[in-house]
Amino acid sequence: MDEPKNGGYPGEAQKEIPGWREAASAGDSKGAVWSLVLKARGIPHRMRRLGQITSIYVLPSDIARAEREIALYEKENLDWPPPALPADEKPAGDELLFSVAVMSGLAVFHDLTTKPVFSHLREAGRVSALKIFLYGEWWRSVTALTLHSGFQHLGANALTGAFFLAWLSREAGIGVGFLFLLLAGGLGNLLTVFIEGMPHSSIGLSTAVFGLIGGLCAFAARRRNTISWRRWLAPLGAGAALLSMIGGPGENVDFTAHIAGLLCGFLLGLPLEQVSGKNFYRSRWLQPLAGLAGLALLTGSWALAFLSK
C-alpha cells in the first residue's frame, strides 16, 4: 500500500491523486479495513486521509473490480458482529452454578438407583424401542436421560453436560436452558428409536449433551445469517468435530443417539436464537416458567413410568 508522496493528510488542499480514481471513502477505521480487502485481492491502491475521512484510490482499470470487492465485503459483514446485549439484560452469571446443581442432582439420583429397593427404576425408565413402538411409552425418551450405567458413565456426561448447559444458559437463560436440555435429549432419543428400530435400548444424558452442542451451533449459525453460506460451515464443523472427539463410534457408544441429539438440538436452536436476545433476559416470568415446564416434563415422565408398571 502506497501513500501519495505529495500529501494526503489533514489540512491538504489537494483532493485527487493524479492518475488514480476514487473507489470509496469512509471513516478512517473503515478505510483501513477496505485497504486490507483490496490488498488481499491483489488490487493496487492508495489511501488519502482528509480529516476523519479516508478515501481509497485505484487505477482506472481497477475501479469496477475494487468497487465490487468492497461492496461484497460490506454485504457479507452486514450487522457483524452482533450487538451486545445491554448489561441489565444479560444473565446474572449464575449459569455455571445452576448447571453444576443439575448435574449434582443427577449424581444423587444415580446413587439412589444403585440401591436394591430402587433398582427397578432402570427398567422402568430406560429407552426401549419395543415399549415405545408397541405401547406408546414416549416418556422413556426423557426418563432415560437421568439413568446411567455407572459412575464413570455419569461422570463423563456430567462434566461435559455442566459446561455446555452453562454455555447455552448464558445465551438463552437458565430456565430455557434446562427445558432445552430435556427437549433436545428427549427428541433425540425418539429419533434414535425410529432410526434404529427394535430392539434398541439405551440410557444416559449424552444425547441431551449433544443436543446442547447442536443448539450452540445453531446460535452461531443464525448470528451469521447475513454472511455468505460458506461461513455457516464453521459452527457446523465445530459441532461435527466435537461429535467425532467425544461421541464418535466406539464400544458401548450410542453414536446414532449422539447424531440425533446434535440434529434435534440444532433444529430447536434455530428459532430459539431468533428471540433469545429480545425477550428472554428482560422477562421476569418467562425463565421461571420455562424452568417449571422442564421440571414438569421430567417429573411427569417419571410419574407416567411408575403408573405404567
pLDDT recorded at residue 100? 94
Average pLDDT over residues 119-146: 93
Distance CA 71, CA 56 (A): 13
88 φ/ψ angles, rounded to the nearest 5 degrees:
-80, -5
DSSP tally for the chain: helices H, then strands E:
12, 5
Distance CA 201, CA 272 (A): 30
How far from chain centre, in Å, is Cα 238? 10
pLDDT recorded at residue 1? 44
Helix (H) / strand (E) element for 68: namely helix 63-76
Exposed (0-12), middle (13-18) or buried (19+): which is 21, by Cβ within 10 Å? middle
194 φ/ψ angles, rounded to the nearest 5 degrees:
-70, -30
Range with the largest mean pLDDT of 68-72, 94-98, 273-277? 94-98
Q: What DSSP state is assigned to residue 2? A: B
Identify the bridge partners of residue 27 per DSSP, sorted by sequence position: 53
Distance CA 101, CA 268 (A): 24
More confident residue, 221 or 78: 221
Residue holding cell 416458567? 289
* Contact call for residues 261 and 216 (beta carbons, < 8 A): no
Closest CA to 132 of 181, 90, 75, 189: 189
Q: How many C-beta atoms lie closer than 10 Å to residue 133's C-beta?
A: 14
Average pLDDT over residues 67-89: 66
- In this prediction, residue 46 has a pLDDT band, given cuts at 50, 70 and 90, of confident
Average pLDDT over residues 173-202: 94
Range with the largest mean pLDDT of 22-31, 121-130, 228-237, 280-289? 121-130
User: Per-residue pLDDT for 181 more than 70?
Assistant: yes
pLDDT digits (tens, 9 = 90+) for 278-302: 555 556 788 899 999 999 999 999 9
Q: What is the pTM of this model?
A: 0.67
pLDDT digits (tens, 9 = 90+) for 19-40: 788 888 887 677 788 888 888 8
* Contact call for residues 207 and 155 (beta carbons, < 8 A): no
Distance in angstroms between the alpha carbons of the first and the last residue of the chain = 77
